[in-house]
A and B are shown apart, each in its own frame.
Chain A
Amino acid sequence: MKPFGGNVLFLDRSDINTDEIIPAKYLTEISKEALKPHLLEDLKLEGFDPLRDLKGKTAIVTRKNFGCGSSREHAPWALEVNGIHIVVAENFARIFRQNMFNCGMLAVELPSETIDELFRVFSKSETQVEVDFPNDRLTFSNGKTKKTYSYHLSPFDKTLVEAGGWVEYADAKY
Chain B
Amino acid sequence: MGKTIAEKIFDTHEVDRPFPDVRVLRLDRVLCHEITTPTAIDDLIRRGKDRVFDPEKIKAVIDHVSPAKDEKTALQGKILRDWARRHGIKDFFDIGSNGVCHALFPEKGFIRPGFTVIMGDSHTCTHGAFGAFAAGVGTTDLEVGILKGVCAFRSPKTLRINVIGRPPAGVFAKDIILGIIGKIGVNGATDRVIEFHGPVISTMSMESRMTLCNMAVEAGATSGICQPDETTVEYLWPFIKGEYSSKKHALEDFAQWKSDPDAEYEKVIDFDVSTLEPLVTFGYKPDQVKPVREMEGTKVDQVYIGSCTNGRYEDLEVAASVLKGKKIHPHVRGILAPATPEVYRKALEGGLLKIFLEAGFCVTNPTCGACLGMSNGVLAPGEVCASTTNRNFNGRMGKGGMIHLMSPATAAATAVAGVITNSPLYAR
B368: shortest Cβ distance to chain A, in Å?
Answer: 10
A147: shortest Cβ distance to chain B, in Å?
Answer: 26
CB contacts (< 8 Å) of B144 on chain A: these are 166-167, 170-171
Given A30-B76, A98-B138, A155-B19: A20 and B147 within 8 A (CB)? no
Docked Cα-Cα span, A124 to B324, in Å, equals 58
Q: Hey, which bits of chain A sit against chain B, CB under 8 A?
A: 14-15, 17, 19-20, 23-25, 27-30, 42, 44, 64-65, 68-73, 76, 91, 93-96, 98-99, 102-103, 154-156, 159, 165-167, 170-171, 173-174
Count A/B pairs, Cβ under 8 Å.
Answer: 142
Q: Is the CB of A30 within 8 A of B75?
A: yes
B19: shortest Cβ distance to chain A, in Å?
Answer: 4
CB contacts (< 8 Å) of B124 on chain A: these are 71
Which residue of chain B has its CB nearest to the CB of A43? B394
Docked Cα-Cα span, A20 to B186, in Å, equals 15
CB contacts (< 8 Å) of A103 on chain B: these are 140
Which B34-75 residues sit within 8 Å CB-CB of chain A?
Answer: 35-36, 38-39, 42-43, 47, 49, 65, 70, 72-73, 75
Docked Cα-Cα span, A159 to B22, in Å, equals 12
Interface residues as binary, B93-126 with A (CB distance below 8 Å gives 1, 0 otherwise) = 0000000000000000000000000001110100
Q: Is the CB of A68 within 8 A of B187?
A: yes
CB contacts (< 8 Å) of B147 on chain A: these are 167, 170-171
Which B122-176 residues sit within 8 Å CB-CB of chain A?
Answer: 122, 124, 136-141, 143-144, 147-148, 150, 152
Count B-side interface residues using an 8 Å CB cutoff: 55
Q: Is the CB of B137 within 8 A of A71?
A: yes
CB contacts (< 8 Å) of B120 on chain A: these are 71, 73
Closest 9 CB pairs of A and B: A99-B138, A102-B140, A42-B395, A73-B138, A28-B72, A73-B139, A71-B122, A65-B187, A71-B136
Is B374 interfacial (CB 8 A cutoff)? Answer: yes
Which residue of chain A has its CB nearest to the CB of B284? A44
B203: shortest Cβ distance to chain A, in Å?
Answer: 31
Q: Is the CB of B138 within 8 A of A156?
A: no
A141: shortest Cβ distance to chain B, in Å?
Answer: 30
Which residue of chain B has its CB nearest to the CB of A65? B187
Docked Cα-Cα span, A19 to B391, in Å, equals 10
CB contacts (< 8 Å) of A70 on chain B: these are 121-122, 372, 391
CB contacts (< 8 Å) of B383 on chain A: these are none
CB contacts (< 8 Å) of A23 on chain B: these are 373, 395, 399
CB contacts (< 8 Å) of A98 on chain B: these are 137-138, 141
Please name 17 further chain A to chain B contacts, defined as beta carbons within 8 Å, in addition to the given A24-B374, A98-B137, sorted by A numbering: A19-B396, A27-B35, A30-B75, A68-B220, A70-B372, A72-B36, A91-B187, A93-B190, A93-B220, A102-B140, A102-B141, A156-B21, A167-B43, A167-B47, A167-B147, A171-B144, A174-B148
Docked Cα-Cα span, A65 to B218, in Å, equals 11
Q: Is the CB of B395 within 8 A of A20?
A: yes
Is B16 interfacial (CB 8 A cutoff)? Answer: yes
Q: Is the CB of B15 within 8 A of A91?
A: no
CB contacts (< 8 Å) of A165 on chain B: these are 140
Given A71-B36, A72-B36, A156-B18: A94 and B191 within 8 A (CB)? yes
Q: Is the CB of A167 within 8 A of B143?
A: yes
Q: Is the CB of B15 within 8 A of A174?
A: yes
A115: shortest Cβ distance to chain B, in Å?
Answer: 14
CB contacts (< 8 Å) of A44 on chain B: these are 284, 394
B345: shortest Cβ distance to chain A, in Å?
Answer: 29
A107: shortest Cβ distance to chain B, in Å?
Answer: 12
Which residue of chain B has its CB nearest to the CB of A76? B138
Contact of A72 among B24, B138, B187, B285 (CB under 8 A): B138
Is B222 interfacial (CB 8 A cutoff)? Answer: yes
Docked Cα-Cα span, A91 to B147, in Å, equals 30
Is B235 interfacial (CB 8 A cutoff)? Answer: no
Docked Cα-Cα span, A55 to B391, in Å, equals 30
Docked Cα-Cα span, A170 to B147, in Å, equals 9
Which residue of chain A has its CB nearest to the CB of B70? A28
Q: Is the CB of B137 within 8 A of A95?
A: yes
Q: Is the CB of A156 within 8 A of B220?
A: no
Docked Cα-Cα span, A70 to B65, in Å, equals 16
Docked Cα-Cα span, A166 to B146, in Å, equals 13
Q: Is the CB of A166 within 8 A of B141?
A: yes
Docked Cα-Cα span, A76 to B140, in Å, equals 11
Docked Cα-Cα span, A54 to B103, in Å, equals 39
Docked Cα-Cα span, A24 to B396, in Å, equals 7
Q: Is the CB of A73 within 8 A of B39?
A: yes
Q: Is the CB of B140 within 8 A of A73?
A: yes
CB contacts (< 8 Å) of B396 on chain A: these are 19, 24
B16: shortest Cβ distance to chain A, in Å?
Answer: 7
CB contacts (< 8 Å) of A73 on chain B: these are 36, 39, 120, 138-140
Is B282 interfacial (CB 8 A cutoff)? Answer: no
CB contacts (< 8 Å) of B76 on chain A: these are 28, 30
A96: shortest Cβ distance to chain B, in Å?
Answer: 8
Q: Is the CB of A95 within 8 A of B374?
A: no
CB contacts (< 8 Å) of A17 on chain B: these are 393
Which residue of chain A has its CB nearest to the CB of B285? A15
CB contacts (< 8 Å) of A156 on chain B: these are 18-19, 21-22, 152
